[in-house]
Amino acid sequence: MNDLLLELSHFIDDDFVNRIEMQMMSNRIKEEWKLPDDFQVIETRNKEVSMVLNELEELAWRMAGTFDSMDIDTLRKMFSVKRNEDHFDKAFYATDMKSMDEFIAKANSYDQRISLLEEWAVRKEEEYKSRAALPPKHLQ
């Protein structure tokens, strides 16, 4: 749905929507105050203000897509399924969770954070399957 709305927003620009809103407001004010038919509400905005507002909207949209603490907790639970059950895996589990936290902290600033996380999960799964010996003491 978001992608569809984004595509539609390219066809219907802010100026078009603002003109419709202003016309509706003009009609309502004319009726309430019994103003002449040629009355028109006019709003002009500085171009720089519109550009700053667009930048802030984009920044807010990007910030809304980042992983928050609840997302990270959910990811930890997902990656912990059938993990940390035997002695061998317990030796690696804390390191793996620390690795995931560090990765998410770095990947959170990118727009492709989900695909990066998927790639990390595949690499971590391959690493998990290839483990044959206990980690050295400094990693436990």
pLDDT computed for residue 140 by the predictor: 61
C-beta of residue 100 within 8 angstroms of C-beta of residue 75 = yes
Does residue 139 surpass a pLDDT of 70?
Answer: no
The whole-model pTM stands at 0.54
Does residue 136 surpass a pLDDT of 80?
Answer: no
For the chain, which residues make up each domain, given as ranges? 2-64, 69-139
Give the span between the Cα atoms of 121 and 115, in whole angstroms.
Answer: 10
Does residue 6 surpass a pLDDT of 90?
Answer: no
| Residue 86 vs residue 115, higher pLDDT | 115
Confidence of residue 132 (pLDDT cuts 50, 70, 90): confident
Q: For residue 61, which of 106, 10, 111, 118 has the smallest C-alpha distance?
A: 111
Mean pLDDT in the chain?
A: 85
pLDDT computed for residue 73 by the predictor: 93
